[in-house]
Chains A and B, each alone.
Chain A
Amino acid sequence: MGQSMYIFLLVGFVGFAILAIFLRDLLKAAISLAFSSIFLAMIFFHMKAYYVGVFEISVVAGLITVLFIATIGLTKGQGDVKERKIPLVIFPLFFIAFLFLDVVIMNALKTQMAVLSGKPEVPHFPQVLWGFRTLDLVGQIGVIFAGVFAVLALFRKGGTHE
Protein backbone atom coordinates (compact mmCIF):
# COMPACT_ATOMS: atom_id res chain seq x y z
CA MET A 1 0.00 0.00 0.00
CA GLY A 2 1.48 3.33 -1.07
CA GLN A 3 1.84 6.51 0.88
CA SER A 4 -0.97 8.24 -1.02
CA MET A 5 -3.31 5.39 -0.07
CA TYR A 6 -2.31 5.78 3.58
CA ILE A 7 -2.99 9.54 3.43
CA PHE A 8 -6.39 8.71 1.88
CA LEU A 9 -7.14 6.42 4.85
CA LEU A 10 -6.18 9.13 7.35
CA VAL A 11 -8.32 11.71 5.52
CA GLY A 12 -11.24 9.26 5.42
CA PHE A 13 -10.87 8.58 9.15
CA VAL A 14 -10.87 12.30 10.06
CA GLY A 15 -13.61 13.13 7.50
CA PHE A 16 -16.06 10.54 8.82
CA ALA A 17 -15.24 11.59 12.41
CA ILE A 18 -16.20 15.18 11.48
CA LEU A 19 -19.44 13.92 9.91
CA ALA A 20 -20.21 11.80 13.00
CA ILE A 21 -19.96 14.85 15.23
CA PHE A 22 -21.69 17.46 13.07
CA LEU A 23 -24.44 15.60 11.18
CA ARG A 24 -27.84 16.59 12.57
CA ASP A 25 -29.46 13.20 11.88
CA LEU A 26 -28.38 10.87 14.69
CA LEU A 27 -28.72 7.73 12.58
CA LYS A 28 -26.44 9.14 9.88
CA ALA A 29 -24.02 10.27 12.60
CA ALA A 30 -23.88 6.73 14.05
CA ILE A 31 -23.26 5.25 10.58
CA SER A 32 -20.50 7.82 9.96
CA LEU A 33 -18.92 6.73 13.23
CA ALA A 34 -18.95 3.14 11.96
CA PHE A 35 -17.28 4.20 8.69
CA SER A 36 -14.69 6.11 10.71
CA SER A 37 -13.97 2.87 12.61
CA ILE A 38 -13.59 0.95 9.36
CA PHE A 39 -11.04 3.49 8.08
CA LEU A 40 -9.21 3.25 11.42
CA ALA A 41 -9.15 -0.54 11.15
CA MET A 42 -7.65 -0.26 7.66
CA ILE A 43 -4.96 2.04 9.10
CA PHE A 44 -4.24 -0.68 11.70
CA PHE A 45 -4.02 -3.32 8.95
CA HIS A 46 -1.53 -1.06 7.14
CA MET A 47 0.63 -1.07 10.30
CA LYS A 48 0.32 -4.87 10.50
CA ALA A 49 -1.70 -4.58 13.73
CA TYR A 50 -4.11 -7.27 12.54
CA TYR A 51 -5.57 -8.31 15.89
CA VAL A 52 -6.64 -4.85 16.94
CA GLY A 53 -7.85 -4.17 13.38
CA VAL A 54 -10.19 -7.15 13.55
CA PHE A 55 -11.39 -6.01 16.99
CA GLU A 56 -11.97 -2.49 15.68
CA ILE A 57 -14.14 -3.74 12.82
CA SER A 58 -16.10 -6.40 14.71
CA VAL A 59 -16.56 -4.75 18.09
CA VAL A 60 -16.35 -0.99 17.54
CA ALA A 61 -17.75 -0.71 14.00
CA GLY A 62 -20.22 -3.56 14.55
CA LEU A 63 -21.37 -3.90 18.15
CA ILE A 64 -21.11 -0.27 19.24
CA THR A 65 -22.95 0.93 16.11
CA VAL A 66 -25.75 -1.55 16.86
CA LEU A 67 -25.93 -0.22 20.43
CA PHE A 68 -26.10 3.37 19.17
CA ILE A 69 -28.81 2.56 16.61
CA ALA A 70 -30.83 0.67 19.25
CA THR A 71 -30.58 3.67 21.58
CA ILE A 72 -31.60 6.08 18.82
CA GLY A 73 -34.60 3.83 18.14
CA LEU A 74 -35.56 3.66 21.83
CA THR A 75 -35.30 7.42 22.28
CA LYS A 76 -37.10 8.21 19.01
CA GLY A 77 -34.16 10.01 17.46
CA GLN A 78 -33.50 13.70 17.77
CA GLY A 79 -36.42 14.52 20.09
CA ASP A 80 -36.78 18.18 20.96
CA VAL A 81 -33.06 18.98 21.08
CA LYS A 82 -32.14 21.87 18.85
CA GLU A 83 -28.39 22.27 18.38
CA ARG A 84 -27.04 25.79 18.08
CA LYS A 85 -25.95 26.82 14.58
CA ILE A 86 -23.04 29.07 15.56
CA PRO A 87 -20.61 26.23 16.51
CA LEU A 88 -21.19 24.62 13.13
CA VAL A 89 -20.71 27.90 11.26
CA ILE A 90 -17.47 28.84 13.00
CA PHE A 91 -16.09 25.29 13.04
CA PRO A 92 -14.19 25.60 9.70
CA LEU A 93 -12.29 28.61 11.07
CA PHE A 94 -11.32 26.74 14.24
CA PHE A 95 -10.47 23.64 12.22
CA ILE A 96 -8.17 25.49 9.81
CA ALA A 97 -6.51 27.39 12.68
CA PHE A 98 -5.92 24.15 14.61
CA LEU A 99 -4.67 22.37 11.48
CA PHE A 100 -2.16 25.17 10.87
CA LEU A 101 -0.98 25.07 14.52
CA ASP A 102 -0.83 21.27 14.40
CA VAL A 103 1.41 21.24 11.31
CA VAL A 104 3.68 23.99 12.68
CA ILE A 105 4.08 22.36 16.12
CA MET A 106 4.60 18.85 14.76
CA ASN A 107 7.22 20.07 12.27
CA ALA A 108 9.01 21.96 15.05
CA LEU A 109 8.96 18.91 17.33
CA LYS A 110 10.19 16.63 14.56
CA THR A 111 13.52 18.40 14.39
CA GLN A 112 13.92 18.68 18.16
CA MET A 113 12.78 15.34 19.54
CA ALA A 114 14.95 12.26 19.42
CA VAL A 115 14.11 9.57 16.93
CA LEU A 116 11.87 6.93 18.45
CA SER A 117 13.61 3.68 18.93
CA GLY A 118 13.10 0.47 20.74
CA LYS A 119 14.32 -3.09 20.85
CA PRO A 120 12.26 -5.40 18.66
CA GLU A 121 10.01 -7.62 20.71
CA VAL A 122 10.59 -11.32 20.43
CA PRO A 123 7.27 -12.93 21.38
CA HIS A 124 4.20 -13.25 19.21
CA PHE A 125 0.81 -11.81 20.07
CA PRO A 126 -0.63 -14.84 21.94
CA GLN A 127 2.53 -14.95 24.06
CA VAL A 128 2.15 -11.25 24.94
CA LEU A 129 -1.57 -11.51 25.69
CA TRP A 130 -1.59 -14.81 27.59
CA GLY A 131 1.92 -14.68 29.01
CA PHE A 132 2.90 -11.12 29.86
CA ARG A 133 -0.46 -9.43 30.28
CA THR A 134 -2.53 -12.13 31.99
CA LEU A 135 -3.76 -9.68 34.65
CA ASP A 136 -5.26 -7.54 31.87
CA LEU A 137 -7.49 -10.48 30.95
CA VAL A 138 -8.67 -10.82 34.56
CA GLY A 139 -9.43 -7.10 34.56
CA GLN A 140 -11.30 -7.44 31.25
CA ILE A 141 -13.50 -10.20 32.67
CA GLY A 142 -14.23 -8.00 35.69
CA VAL A 143 -15.10 -5.02 33.48
CA ILE A 144 -17.41 -7.14 31.30
CA PHE A 145 -19.30 -8.41 34.37
CA ALA A 146 -19.48 -4.86 35.77
CA GLY A 147 -20.97 -3.66 32.46
CA VAL A 148 -23.51 -6.48 32.34
CA PHE A 149 -24.66 -5.92 35.93
CA ALA A 150 -24.80 -2.13 35.38
CA VAL A 151 -27.08 -2.56 32.35
CA LEU A 152 -29.23 -5.09 34.23
CA ALA A 153 -29.54 -2.70 37.18
CA LEU A 154 -30.47 0.21 34.91
CA PHE A 155 -33.21 -1.75 33.12
CA ARG A 156 -34.57 -3.39 36.28
CA LYS A 157 -38.34 -3.07 36.58
CA GLY A 158 -40.16 -1.81 39.66
CA GLY A 159 -37.97 0.76 41.39
CA THR A 160 -38.41 1.25 45.13
CA HIS A 161 -39.46 4.91 44.73
CA GLU A 162 -42.53 4.07 42.64
Chain B
Amino acid sequence: MNSFWFLNMGVVALVVFLSIYGLLTMKNLIKLFIAVEVLSKGLTLAWIVTGYAKNHLMTAQSVAITFIVVEVCVVATALALIVNIYRHTKSLDIGKLTKLRG
Protein backbone atom coordinates (compact mmCIF):
# COMPACT_ATOMS: atom_id res chain seq x y z
CA MET B 1 0.00 0.00 0.00
CA ASN B 2 2.83 2.36 0.85
CA SER B 3 4.57 1.97 -2.52
CA PHE B 4 1.21 2.33 -4.28
CA TRP B 5 0.69 5.67 -2.52
CA PHE B 6 4.21 6.85 -3.37
CA LEU B 7 3.79 5.81 -7.02
CA ASN B 8 0.61 7.85 -7.29
CA MET B 9 2.10 10.79 -5.42
CA GLY B 10 5.00 10.72 -7.91
CA VAL B 11 2.45 11.00 -10.72
CA VAL B 12 0.69 13.85 -8.86
CA ALA B 13 4.02 15.70 -8.53
CA LEU B 14 4.65 15.18 -12.25
CA VAL B 15 1.24 16.55 -13.23
CA VAL B 16 1.61 19.55 -10.91
CA PHE B 17 5.05 20.27 -12.40
CA LEU B 18 3.55 20.00 -15.90
CA SER B 19 0.75 22.45 -15.16
CA ILE B 20 3.08 24.97 -13.48
CA TYR B 21 5.42 24.74 -16.50
CA GLY B 22 2.42 25.43 -18.76
CA LEU B 23 1.28 28.35 -16.60
CA LEU B 24 4.75 29.91 -16.71
CA THR B 25 5.38 29.51 -20.44
CA MET B 26 2.02 29.87 -22.26
CA LYS B 27 0.53 33.16 -23.46
CA ASN B 28 -2.92 32.10 -24.64
CA LEU B 29 -5.60 32.62 -21.97
CA ILE B 30 -7.43 29.38 -22.82
CA LYS B 31 -4.17 27.40 -22.68
CA LEU B 32 -3.45 28.91 -19.28
CA PHE B 33 -6.82 27.76 -18.06
CA ILE B 34 -6.25 24.28 -19.48
CA ALA B 35 -3.07 24.21 -17.36
CA VAL B 36 -5.14 25.14 -14.28
CA GLU B 37 -7.51 22.27 -15.11
CA VAL B 38 -4.59 19.83 -15.31
CA LEU B 39 -3.43 21.07 -11.89
CA SER B 40 -6.88 20.41 -10.42
CA LYS B 41 -6.86 16.87 -11.83
CA GLY B 42 -3.57 16.17 -10.09
CA LEU B 43 -4.95 17.44 -6.80
CA THR B 44 -8.11 15.32 -7.12
CA LEU B 45 -5.91 12.25 -7.68
CA ALA B 46 -3.88 13.14 -4.56
CA TRP B 47 -7.08 13.32 -2.47
CA ILE B 48 -8.50 10.03 -3.65
CA VAL B 49 -5.21 8.13 -3.42
CA THR B 50 -4.62 9.35 0.13
CA GLY B 51 -8.18 8.45 1.10
CA TYR B 52 -7.72 5.00 -0.46
CA ALA B 53 -4.40 4.45 1.32
CA LYS B 54 -5.78 5.54 4.70
CA ASN B 55 -9.06 3.62 4.36
CA HIS B 56 -11.08 6.83 4.26
CA LEU B 57 -12.21 6.58 0.67
CA MET B 58 -15.79 7.72 1.30
CA THR B 59 -14.72 10.96 3.01
CA ALA B 60 -12.12 11.57 0.29
CA GLN B 61 -14.78 11.07 -2.38
CA SER B 62 -17.20 13.50 -0.75
CA VAL B 63 -14.45 16.17 -0.53
CA ALA B 64 -13.41 15.48 -4.14
CA ILE B 65 -17.01 15.86 -5.34
CA THR B 66 -17.26 19.21 -3.53
CA PHE B 67 -14.01 20.22 -5.22
CA ILE B 68 -15.36 19.21 -8.65
CA VAL B 69 -18.50 21.33 -8.13
CA VAL B 70 -16.35 24.33 -7.17
CA GLU B 71 -14.11 23.62 -10.18
CA VAL B 72 -17.06 23.69 -12.60
CA CYS B 73 -18.25 27.06 -11.25
CA VAL B 74 -14.74 28.49 -11.49
CA VAL B 75 -14.37 27.20 -15.07
CA ALA B 76 -17.74 28.66 -16.13
CA THR B 77 -16.92 32.07 -14.62
CA ALA B 78 -13.36 32.15 -15.96
CA LEU B 79 -14.41 31.16 -19.49
CA ALA B 80 -17.12 33.85 -19.44
CA LEU B 81 -14.41 36.34 -18.42
CA ILE B 82 -12.17 35.12 -21.26
CA VAL B 83 -14.99 35.62 -23.79
CA ASN B 84 -15.54 39.16 -22.48
CA ILE B 85 -11.82 39.91 -22.62
CA TYR B 86 -11.75 38.67 -26.23
CA ARG B 87 -14.69 40.93 -27.12
CA HIS B 88 -12.86 43.96 -25.72
CA THR B 89 -9.29 43.30 -26.90
CA LYS B 90 -9.94 41.01 -29.93
CA SER B 91 -7.11 38.84 -28.67
CA LEU B 92 -6.43 35.99 -26.27
CA ASP B 93 -2.85 37.12 -25.67
CA ILE B 94 -2.20 37.66 -21.98
CA GLY B 95 0.47 40.21 -22.93
CA LYS B 96 -2.22 42.52 -24.32
CA LEU B 97 -3.91 42.77 -20.95
CA THR B 98 -1.36 45.33 -19.80
CA LYS B 99 -4.02 47.97 -20.49
CA LEU B 100 -5.53 46.87 -17.18
CA ARG B 101 -2.63 48.57 -15.36
CA GLY B 102 -3.77 51.33 -13.06
Which of chain A's residues has its CB closest to B33's CB? A68
Band of interface residues on B: 35 or more
A80 touching B93, Cβ below 8 Å: yes
Given A33-B38, A36-B41: A47 touches B54 (CB 8 Å cut-off): no
Band of interface residues on A: 35 or more
A and B contact pairs by CB, cutoff 8 A, 30 listed = A10-B8, A21-B35, A33-B34, A49-B48, A49-B61, A52-B48, A59-B69, A59-B72, A63-B72, A68-B33, A71-B82, A79-B92, A79-B93, A81-B28, A81-B93, A83-B26, A87-B26, A106-B9, A109-B6, A123-B58, A128-B61, A133-B66, A136-B66, A143-B73, A147-B73, A150-B73, A150-B76, A151-B76, A151-B80, A154-B81
B interface, CB within 8 angstroms of A:
1-3, 5-11, 13-15, 17-19, 21-22, 25-28, 30-31, 33-35, 37-38, 41, 44-45, 48-66, 68-77, 79-84, 86, 90-93
Please name 9 further chain A to chain B contacts, defined as beta carbons within 8 Å, in addition to the given A121-B57, A154-B84, sorted by A numbering: A17-B38, A21-B19, A48-B52, A81-B27, A95-B18, A98-B14, A128-B62, A143-B73, A154-B83
A interface, CB within 8 angstroms of B:
10, 13-14, 17-18, 20-22, 26, 29-30, 33, 36-37, 40, 43-44, 47-49, 51-52, 55-56, 59-60, 63-64, 67-68, 70-72, 74-75, 78-84, 87, 91, 94-95, 98-99, 102-103, 106-107, 109-110, 113, 115-121, 123-125, 127-129, 132-133, 136, 139-140, 143-144, 146-147, 150-151, 154-155
